[in-house]
């Protein structure tokens, strides 16, 4: 097993545990739900086989679901972003294409690029997750407010998490 595989296994465990043990217990307001665990999906190498990304997304979401007693809710949202990630990466690709053997990061692609890339995935994830969790659109404006505010907080903590991991 290569060094980078072990790093990603560690990142997976850290993402799941920090989400379920720390961030799920932080409470400021019912509008703020911080989801940092998708950092794992954001940082997977750009050339990772898309089927592997899809499988990992499902496992990641299901792990969060098992801790939260919400079978399927997180998994359905992470699988969606796993499916759309290749298209989003293509959308934001630099003109000369991505350099080989790189993973999405501030260091490799710049802060602007990373924010654009992360916020797209965070928004898709949060929109899907909150509406599925609410069983539909009956609390539309409340849910939209929750999505927008939570996305901003998730982005901030994902960038902080990303910088902490890069230091290691």
Q: List residues near another protein by CB under 8 A.
A: 17, 20-21, 24-25, 27, 29-30, 32-33, 50-51, 54, 58, 61-62, 65-73, 75-76, 79-80, 82-83, 132-135, 139, 142
Considering the complex, state which of residue 27 and residue 97 has its C-beta at the smaller distance from another protein. 27
Name the burial class of residue 114, with classes exposed (0-12), middle (13-18) and buried (19+) by CB atoms within 10 angstroms of its CB: buried
Q: Return the structure tokens found at 80.
A: 């969606």
Which residues does 114 contact at the CB level (< 8 Å), separation at least 6? 104, 105, 106, 159, 162
Considering the complex, state which of residue 21 and residue 160 has its C-beta at the smaller distance from another protein. 21
Considering the complex, state which of residue 84 and residue 115 has its C-beta at the smaller distance from another protein. 84
Minimum CB separation of residue 16 from another protein in Å reads 10
Minimum CB separation of residue 86 from another protein in Å reads 8
Count of CA atoms in the C-beta half-sphere (13 A) of 78: 27
Q: How far apart are CA 80 and CA 75, in angstroms?
A: 9
Minimum CB separation of residue 107 from another protein in Å reads 29
Q: Return the structure tokens found at 44.
A: 């997977």
Minimum CB separation of residue 96 from another protein in Å reads 25
């Amino acid at each position: 097993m290569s060094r980078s595989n072990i790093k990603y296994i560690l990142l997976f465990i850290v993402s799941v545990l920090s989400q379920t043990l720390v961030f799920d217990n932080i409470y400021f307001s019912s509008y703020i739900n911080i989801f940092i665990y998708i950092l794992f999906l954001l940082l997977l190498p750009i050339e990772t086989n898309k089927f592997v990304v899809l499988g990992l997304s499902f496992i990641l979401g299901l792990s969060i679901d098992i801790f939260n007693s919400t079978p399927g809710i997180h998994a359905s949202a992470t699988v969606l972003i796993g499916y759309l990630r290749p298209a989003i990466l293509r959308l934001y690709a630099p003109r000369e294409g991505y350099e080989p053997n790189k993973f999405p990061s501030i260091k490799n692609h710049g802060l602007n690029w990373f924010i654009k890339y992360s916020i797209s995935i965070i928004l898709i994830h949060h929109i899907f997750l909150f509406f599925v969790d609410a069983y539909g659109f009956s609390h539309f404006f409340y849910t939209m407010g929750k999505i927008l505010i939570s996305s901003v907080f998730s982005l901030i903590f994902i960038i902080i998490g990303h910088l902490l991991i890069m230091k290691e």
